[in-house]
Structure formats: structure tokens, C-alpha cells
Amino acid sequence: MEGTKRSNIKIGAVVMIVQKHDQSSGKLTEGLVKKIFTNSPEHHHGIKVMLESGIVGRVKEIK
């Protein structure tokens, strides 16, 4: 599932995100969603979230 639609992402969901410093390499980080930062219903680069671990990034994939 895509991470560009806010309605697809729920608190506690397992997601793959790309952190700001990993955007050029495309390295993904897996974790549980703790907080959703993007307010708009869609974002072309992915919805910005914070994982339970405190890492912030944009959702690329929902598990």
C-alpha cells in the first residue's frame, strides 16, 4: 500500500519510511507509527510520521 494517502496510515501501523538524510540513497527504515505530522489528505513524497523509536520520515510503504 502507498504512503502518499493519509487515510491509509494509522497510529500503530507497521510502515517503511525514508529519513531526510537517506532520501538520496533511498534507504528505508521500518517501524510503528507513533505520530502523524502531515495534515493534508495526500502528499506526493509520502506522509510525514514519527515512529515509536522517535525517528521521523516520510512513509514509502505500509506493511
The fold of 6-62 is SH3 type barrels. (2.30.30)
pLDDT of 53? 98
Residue 63 has pLDDT above 80, yes or no: yes
For the chain, domain boundaries: 6-62
41-46 CB contacts, 8 Å cutoff, 24+ apart? 41/5, 41/6, 41/7, 42/4, 42/5, 42/6, 43/4, 43/6, 44/4, 45/4, 46/3, 46/4, 46/17, 46/18
Q: pTM score, two decimals?
A: 0.93
Task: Read off the pLDDT of residues 10-39 as tens digits, 9 standing for 90 and up.
Answer: 999 999 999 999 999 999 999 999 999 999
